[in-house]
Amino acid sequence: MNAQTNTVSSVEKALDVIELLRESGTARLSTVARDLDLSKSTAHRHLKTLEQRGYVVDTDDGYALSLQFLDLGEFTRTRNPAYQLAMEKVDELARRTDERAQFMVEEHGRAVYVYRKTGNHAVKADSFPGKRVPVHASAAGLAILSKLPDSRVEAILAQHGLEALTSKTITDRDELFAELECIRERGYSINDQGTIEGLRAVGAAVTDADGTVIGGLSISGPINRMRGERFEEEFPSLLLGATNELELNIAYQ
């Protein structure tokens, strides 16, 4: 099929099935076959393989992904002890600010939500653990970028470009590098409605003892509460304090 790439195409088909089920929630054999352009027998064989191994369940409404993925997902975020410490800090930040706090990690050139906690003034959010957003359009992502070697930043840009999510998203290459420089000087990042209109955030990168980036913490909230002294002084210093403590915890755990 794809002679160029040196991959296992049956595995790709299986992943296509998984992703289809991820999108549809539930799907019948014939639907899977049609949507993925496979013969019924092939779709059947793939679904049964995944089912036998416990990754798919066959319900009355069709096939669906099983909770096996919950185990794998939970594993990916507890594997790294630094993530667990970061999660505790997120709780603390959310409690102290009453806004939303989150910990994100860069993976495959995108920023992934690892953990998120909303304070009492909860803002309905469309983010959830595992969700991926462009690095250049999130406070944590920008903070992470600012501590990555330039070559890495270039590679990410080449792969994903600078998609605009709102009219305020950074879409210019030079502007991005200027902003990263700014973040390095300031020590923290600002995302002013770059992800969602009306939402502002401050972020800071978390590094280990060698200076390698682990992820980024951020605090976000609606523009009417994210301004003035709170936004310019209180939150940044809270965030930097939390990041600092976290880095110490990680280094000397």
Partner DNA sequence: ATTCAAAGTTCCGTATAACGGGACGAATAG
Partner DNA sequence: CTATTCGTCCCGTTATACGGAACTTTGAAT
Residues that bind a second copy (CB under 8 A): 5-8, 10-15, 18, 22, 25, 45-46, 48-50, 52-55, 57, 64-79, 105, 107-108, 112, 114, 128-132
Chain residues 150-169 in contact with DNA, contact rule CB under 7 A: none
Pairing type for strands 199-207 and 189-192 reads antiparallel
> Judged by CB, which is closer to a second copy: 9, or 30?
9
> Judged by CB, which is closer to DNA: 33, or 114?
33
> Judged by CB, which is closer to a second copy: 54, or 198?
54
> Judged by CB, which is closer to DNA: 39, or 120?
39
Contact string 51-70 vs DNA (x = CB under 7 A):
-------x---x--------
Q: With beta carbons less than 8 A apart as the criterion, state whether 129 and 70 touch.
A: no
Own/partner long-range contacts of 53-57 (Cβ < 8 Å, ≥24 apart): 55/18, 56/17, 56/18, 56/21
Q: How far is the CB of 209 from DNA (least distance, A)?
A: 19
Interface with DNA, residue 13, by CB under 7 A:
yes
Interface with DNA, residue 29, by CB under 7 A:
yes
6, 151, 212, 224: which one binds DNA (CB under 7 A): 6
Take residue 35 and report the two structure tokens written for it.
């949507």
Binding site partner of 3, from DNA, a second copy, none, Cβ cut-off 5-8 A by kind = DNA
Take residue 99 and report the two structure tokens written for it.
């806004």
Pairing type for strands 132-134 and 110-118 reads antiparallel
Sign of CA dihedral 192, 195, 197, 198: negative
CA-to-CA distance for 194 and 143, rounded, in angstroms? Answer: 14
> Judged by CB, which is closer to DNA: 30, or 244?
30
3-state helix, strand, coil in the chain (%, to 5): 50, 20, 30
Size of the site for DNA (CB under 7 A): 25
Take residue 80 and report the two structure tokens written for it.
């790294």
Binding site partner of 219, from DNA, a second copy, none, Cβ cut-off 5-8 A by kind = none
Binding site partner of 38, from DNA, a second copy, none, Cβ cut-off 5-8 A by kind = DNA
CA-to-CA distance for 62 and 114, rounded, in angstroms? Answer: 30
Burial 148-167 (b: 16+ CB within 10 A, else e): beeeebeebbeeeebeebee
* Site residues (vs DNA, CB under 7 A): 1, 3, 6-10, 13, 28-31, 37-42, 44-48, 58, 62
